[in-house]
Amino acid sequence: MKHERHLCAARKLFFRISVLCLAFLCLWPGAALPQSGNTINTIENCTVRIVDSEGQPVSGAAVVVKGSNRGEISDAKGLCRFRKIPGNAILTVTYLGMTARETPLNGRTEITITLAEESLQMDELVVVGYGVQRKRDLSGAIAQVKGDVINEFANLSVASALQGRVSGVQINQLNGQPGAGIQVRIRGANSIKGDNEPLWIINGFPGDINMINTSDIESVEILKDASATAIYGSRGANGVVIVTTKSAKQGDVKVTYDGSVGIQSLAKQMEMLSGDEYMIYLNKKAEINDLPAVFTEKQIQENTFNTNWQDEVFRTAVITNHAVDITGGNSKFQGSLGASYFNQEGIVKKSGYERISLRTDLNYNISKYVSASANIIFSRSNHDQMNSQGGSRGSSVIGAALVTSPLATPHYDDGTWNDFQTQPAAGTNPLAYLYEIKNKWYANRILANAALTIKPVDGLSIQLAANISNNQNRKDYTKSLDYPNSDGAASISLGETLGITSNNIITYDKGFGKHHINVMGGITYEESTSKTVGTGTGTGFLSDVVESYDMNAAEVKGLPTSGYSNWKLLSFLGRFNYNYDNRYLLTVNFRADGSSRYSRGNKWGYFPSAAVAWRISQERFMKDLDWLSDLKLRVGYGVTGSTAISPYSTQNTLESVNVVFDKTTVVGYAPSDTYLGGLRWETTAQLNVGIDLALLNNRIRLTADYYHKKTTDLLNDVEMPRSSGYTTALRNIGSIRNSGVEVQFDSRIINKAVKWDFGINFSLNRSKILSLSEGKDIFGGTVSNTLLSDQLNLMREGEPMYLFYGYVEDGYDDKGQIVYKDLDGVEGISAADKTIIGNPNPDFLLNFNTSVSYKGFTLSAFFQGSFGNDIYSLSMVSVAYDYGYNANALREVLYDHWTPENPNAKYPNLSQNISLKMSDRFVYDGSYLRLKNLELGYDIPCGKGKFISRARVFVSAQNLFTITSYPFWDPDVNANGGGNSLIQGVDSNCYPSARTFSLGCRLVF
């Protein structure tokens, strides 16, 4: 309770500070009022014409008189008119996708202003590790995604918006449940035991991307090669994603509203047996198994029960997103305040995700040499979760929605939940689970940054920055007394992670004729402390009224649990950039990390990198090629590391054990591992060769990269001799190689009144396991249920990562049973007959986007594709092969199973004694091409003197269609619906993705 009071007080304080900042921003004299001045000449009528670089009119551009609230929108001819405007006025022109421009009027009555394409500007800044660089000066593999691209469609999250947008980055959803996580892989996976997720940097510090609303994003930079990521040392082995949120800007107070509302539904239903077909199906199984018929012909003809459990479980759900951003200021002080509300109902009933976010950004120029800034992001999320995936024979909601008998109804006649005791197949009542079992997860996240910047002399900058992050979560589980055969159950689990980061950076930037240098050095410190506590699950409650808030009322108390962990990281870092005449570029990075996770003697890791680039287009012999805008060759090499292991993996630790002492069981402590010390850092060395090409005044742009990276000293648990008294121990065991090619192509095909843009990106990655401890295979998890019991993914020397391993089918025998190939030549089928049966790694990823705009209308489409990957579908096992327990089945099983008359059937004999093994029968081609986003938007011309300076409306659709041969719900699945790095490409009744239709708008005041 004390902790909750502190949190409540913190929220109130944060809210008051935000309100005061907003009031201060709105009342600040220089933020909204023009400066007084001497009397000047006034122009009675002034005509302004806005054109693009091709001389074509720009419709919908905002033209504002700087320092006032006067503004106009250009019409279809690119024209707008002002009456009685000061002759010395400065006109500020903005248009989405083009660089803003300020132009003095200088007493002219007619003026033409040319806007340049923003995406074509080579001098725009790109955020890199602990600094910024001009895009044209990059020598590493860094991709940038602007905020307007992320907000181009009504995406549900930042990660979802990035999916398919950048070559070399593979993003998979773990499942379609609202608020569910995603998996991001940049240039493949580097670790077996450790985490393979990239480092997320928010406004310069590590943060949780789930707390950010898409409308808050200014830009996202993805650092892919080691020459770019080595500056993050042991945090950068898996790539780095830098997210920059919108910052405070000088100018009049501007209010922006982004909002959308949509409906979501299941993209497709699985075609299961109807009530009549199910009765026929059971009779056929009985006949095949020499059992009496379950139903008579009369019962089948008179049957009126036909429950479609998919209709009962799924629903049409509403999704809403609202965001407001207020910004403004003068040369001394700038501030912004943002607030957003996101609510997504799940397409499975009683599931959903809700998030409220607040963001404030303050900049204060204390003097010519000193400035201060602060940024605070707060989010509160509520998540209604469920056991939606996994399990067999309906032990999950998703599975139960498919295999539950269509003859059963959700309720008995008296209104109580059906427990299926009278049905041919008993299992979980999915509706009872949805309504009577609650898994509620609450999270509060705060990310607060503050920085003091000192610029004592020209070119020298000293920045002292600090960050604090606090993530608190609570999960409440309750099972109602109304749940079938339940005496009630409840539990509570709490967790908190507190992070502290300090970045102290010195930068010197100076030009000397044709020479330009940028030197950066710094010291950073990170510390993270996590605490968890749980009540255990109590059972036997008299009432549901208190839910989980009176755990002492349980007849059988749960076993309490608690946990604690802490890690620290001290780093010294430096970077040197050299630019000669914008032709020859050199970047050198170095970082030394000292980590508490590693043992004495190995606590420090050293991570150097270097990259060179040659801008050939700037050479004298290329100057006459007018069609060539830019040509640059890049080569980089660097070393990064990983500390993604448990904080105490390399230390002697004790664990509690129950022992019998003097005929009494007591709690004691024993070593948890055979610690021998000497564990080394997982280290990744990467070579990158790339080319940047731009043609026809940057209308055609191509970036291509080849990379080769090798990770050594992989960490994993290895088996120990029984004589040691332990089963496994963590050791350095091997190495992995990833190599591949990335291509990004963008173009403006038509650049007149009609504008047509087209982009495509291609990614190819090949992984190979070079060595493992004693050459022994590593299995990435097992499946164990009443249908199958076997290993899933395989790691083997000389092979790609995560392969499927099992038996190869060889048709049916004369009784319709599945026959497996005997590969070892020894009579009988054994484990020696197993072989590689599938590969979940895609051959390549291909994504493309296109947009056409005309007179304010814009039609945009984005296609996402993955090709050549396999899926091991435990989902298909449960709906098509569960013959022994009378579960419902796919409709095609009834009409295409083995009989003497149909020996080449798709499915085997309906014998209840079917013997299933993990085989290639359950491996499916997971290739797909999906129309992920389709949107039609219109920029509404805002007339003269209107309160709204800009308005845009749109209608959009997500997941409109998917071209695939995969027979289950969604081919974009991964990791059994969970997050185990070693289990890849496995679908086990994953929560399906939704098809969404949205309507939204953007208003600028």
Q: If pLDDT is split at 50, 70 and 90, which confidence band does 155 have?
A: confident
CA 383 vs. chain centroid, Å, equals: 17
Q: Give the torsion through C-alpha atoms of 389, 395, 397, 401, to 10 deg.
A: 110
Per-state percent for the chain, helix, strand, coil, to nearest 5: 15, 50, 35
Pairing of strands 199-202, 240-245: parallel
Q: If pLDDT is split at 50, 70 and 90, which confidence band does 673 have?
A: low
pLDDT over 70 (residue 108): yes
The tens digit of pLDDT for each residue in 846-902 reads 999 999 999 899 999 999 999 999 999 999 998 998 877 788 999 999 999 999 999
Q: How far is CA 521 from CA 187, 285, 572, in A?
A: 28, 74, 8
pLDDT for the residue numbered 40: 61
The tens digit of pLDDT for each residue in 209-219 reads 888 888 899 99
**DSSP secondary structure of 570-637:** EEEEEEEEEEETTTEEEEEEEEEEEETTSPTT--EEEEEEEEEEEEGGGSGGGTT-TTEEEEEEEEEE
Q: How far is CA 838 from CA 185, 490, 806, 807, in A?
A: 20, 42, 9, 11
CA–CA dist 284, 771 (Å, integer):
52
What b/e string do you get for 808-827 counting C-beta neighbours within 10 Å, with b at 16 or more?
bbeebeeebebebebeeeee
Residue with tokens 């700087």: 66
Q: Which helix (H) or strand (E) holds 15?
A: helix 2-27
Specify the DSSP class assigned to residue 752.
S
List the 79-86 sheet strands across, edge first. Answer: 79-86, 42-51, 110-114
**DSSP secondary structure of 401-461:** HHHS-TT--SB-TTSSBP--TTSSS----HHHHHHHEEEEEEEEEEEEEEEEEE--STTEE
Q: How far is CA 513 from CA 40, 125, 579, 622, in A?
A: 41, 22, 11, 22
Residue with tokens 């349980």: 554
**Residues pairing with 146 in the sheet:** 219
635: which 2 tokens?
């080569």
From first CA to last CA, the distance across the chain in angstroms is 43
pLDDT for the residue numbered 38: 42
Q: Nearest CA to 282 among 874, 915, 884?
A: 884
Q: Which of 159-163, 273-277, 492-496, 659-663 has the lowest mean pLDDT?
A: 659-663
Q: If pLDDT is split at 50, 70 and 90, which confidence band does 23 have?
A: very low
The tens digit of pLDDT for each residue in 626-659 reads 899 999 999 999 999 988 778 887 777 777 777 7
CA–CA dist 15, 381 (Å, integer):
17
Q: Give the CATH class of 120-247.
A: mainly beta
pLDDT over 50 (residue 35): no
Mean predicted lDDT score pLDDT of the chain: 88
Give the other-Cβ count within 10 Å of 913's Cβ: 9
| Residue ranges covered by each domain of the chain | 22-33+42-116, 120-247, 281-307+386-428+882-903
Give the other-Cβ count within 10 Å of 44's Cβ: 9
CA–CA dist 396, 882 (Å, integer):
15
Residue with tokens 């080449």: 904
Specify the DSSP class assigned to residue 55.
S
Check if the beta carbon of residue 902 is closer than 8 Å to that of residue 896: yes
Write the Ramachandran bin of 856: left for phi over 0, alpha for psi from -120 to 50, otherwise beta. left
pLDDT for the residue numbered 112: 92
The tens digit of pLDDT for each residue in 688-700 reads 999 999 999 889 9
Q: Give the CATH class of 22-33+42-116.
A: mainly beta
Phi, psi values for residue 585, rounded to 5°: -120, 140
Whole-model pTM: value is 0.85
